[in-house]
Structure 1
């Protein structure tokens, strides 16, 4: 993966430099994906679905940009959406043309189908129906993909390759974000950067939201944590992605990591408190030291508002009051009208947003869906639930996690069936 790391770092840097030149941005995108397909063809053979998933993974850093380089609002079509649509099309066509490849469904896909149908009910309650349709259409690929997930079967070694690819892509982007942040602090602004309050140098690469990026950068932490590699390599990887998440100046990534680590340690302690007491104590001491260091680093970047709610609590109260007025159906899917009428953004909390926009029925359906995803993932890989839990915790501090792109990719990576699991010990081809 060393070659791929350099490959990603170069291209992600080029995209940042060409952001304002739409023609060069689009041409560099095409070159990147064509070059990457040649690499994936060697590593993944003729497995088209695996190659498309690989392309989705590496498209995440530019998934908030349109394919032409213009703002996404002007042309809401990204490479991420194209590759995801191709996977669905391949699976559907395969099932239609090959009798033995019948479409399969499980509890996750069935609930996802129900959500996809039901979501149009609260949508009709939107203040601006066209804005409501736009937001719901943005969720459509998410739920449709969940419906088709049971039909994606790839060899175990390919699944492990895709996880490695995800880690490598995030590491490469982390390094680009670090350089972007350093340039920003020295007066050179490229990509999505903003100076807030005179001291906060917000750095967002090409993401639409700094918190989205901060959470994305820490998302492979548990892939790395459970990876069987030398401890110093793990430490270096974690240091790079945490540093990049810090430099976005958004607190979401760090807070999600700390809370998830706390939950992990509590469960570990309950299981091992008696037979491994000294080890448990050492781990807790190490955890407290790490938390102190993380808080200290964060205070250096956001010295004035590290504990500030940024107005979130008031927004939560207003949102909950509005939900009580429309308990069953919510207010509909129209984020722009909500902001223009109330003067505040949609609540940066997944739970409150679900209740507010879709009502109690929609909330119950989504909770059921994610519960089933957790159960399914746990049955395939017990360690995978920590990756999903990290994102769900982070979603309590950012808006609209269903539109984050990487949530769906992570669900794909932890939910894919393992064909030929005996290949566990087969080494992947180095590229």
Structure 2
């Protein structure tokens, strides 16, 4: 029996790995083949999950599996040219099924509807409607993750969260392997695959993600999750933890972007301090190891970045000031959606700060609506504090130095996982009350 389970797991890993490799080399592979591989992967996992989960739960798991490769279209082309991915298609199918089978009118839906009205109105002030619609669709699908999560709060398979966590881990380790492959191809074989950029002082890698900061922050979520699981879970050995973190931190260094690493150091440090105060011996040991190793890690990172200063803003502060100046001219509704207009119309880079960027684009009204869904989310699940709450905190800290964080995809998955984890606690409370 155990051998059969192991064979099934290896089969899953092989399918996920092959699909990831094909997406990494998508520019060299026929678009029809990429499309067919997506269909095969979805069909395989849907049939597999249907044995233990209902349709909605199976689709959530498939969303989790497809998330990292969703920066490439269903045909393997650039997302900017064809903004249709399997991740978005599965999300919309899931939404339709949820509305049909277990629809609950919650606060999230009301906020999403109000935000949608604002988005439609803002199209009238956008310079490029196509670019505006692309960004609106990305934000809208992200906000749907709150609605989707709400539908699972009172009814879901109690094993669903553990299964999602398993695939979240697997995806991150596969992604790190893709980064290593990308790095080897470029630096040793002089072949450029995936998203690679060469700047004056560094080379950065993002595999099949379209943003280097996203890829760095994504890997950092795995590093923080592993840290929390090690401290809370007695079944994770020290050796397994060290090997896992070594791979993930090596991936963070290889990507050669700072945001995720810095956010990880800050939030992991905060988590370890809190747990050390509670006399958790594992936290004390890891904190001690961290104090010794972090200076060496930072030294390697800065050397790879051409000796850049530790706190160099890379021009971010200047873009913040300019964006806030533009915001002051249209404080209520902003300049409208469409990332490209920062460069084409205002001749500035996209502000690498989610608050500054959205104030500039959506003004006070749109930004208030956007933030309000997080406030409602906080009220609904804040008392069910779990490991994913720390991951969310780290992502939001990273968003203060990254533009357009809703397009990261993994933020949507983490939000859904927080809701599903909260459902376990609600289930226990209801059972206790009975």
Asked if Structure 1 and Structure 2 have the same fold, meaning a TM-score greater than 0.5 normalized by the shorter chain, the answer is yes
Q: 2:401 aligns to what SS in structure 1? A: coil
Contact 2:269 2:287 in 1 (8 A): no
Structure 2 unpaired stretches of 5+: 1-5, 429-434
Number of the residue aligned with 1:225: 227
**Backbone CA RMSD of aligned residues:** 2.6
The aligned runs of 1:3-402 (5 Å cut-off) are: 3=10, 4-21=12-29, 22-42=31-51, 45-94=52-101, 101=102, 103-152=103-152, 153-186=155-188, 187-197=190-200, 200-227=202-229, 228=233, 229-268=236-275, 271-272=277-278, 276=279, 284-307=287-310, 308-402=312-406
Larger CA deviation: 295-304 vs 163-172? 295-304
Q: 1:306 to 1:16 in 2, by over 3 A?
A: farther
C-alpha contact (below 8 Å) 1:109/1:149 kept by paired residues: no
Kept in 1: contact 2:61–2:163 (CA 8 A): no
105 and 284 in structure 1: CA distance in 2 versus 1, 3 angstrom threshold: same
Unaligned runs of 5+ in 1: 95-100, 423-431
Which has the larger helix fraction? 2
CA offsets per residue over residues 274-329 of structure 1, 9 Å max, x none? xx499987665433223213202212321333543222111111001111121121
The residue aligned with 1:98 is: none
The count of residues paired between Structure 1 and Structure 2 equals: 408
TM-score (norm 2): 0.85
Deviations 1:175-221 (A, max 9, x none): 12112212221123222222222x52221111111111111122233
Distance 2:228 2:70 in 1: 27
Matched, 1:410 2:414: yes
Compare 210-219 and 280-289 and name the one that shifted more. 280-289
Cα separation, 1, equivalents of 2:130 and 2:35: 29
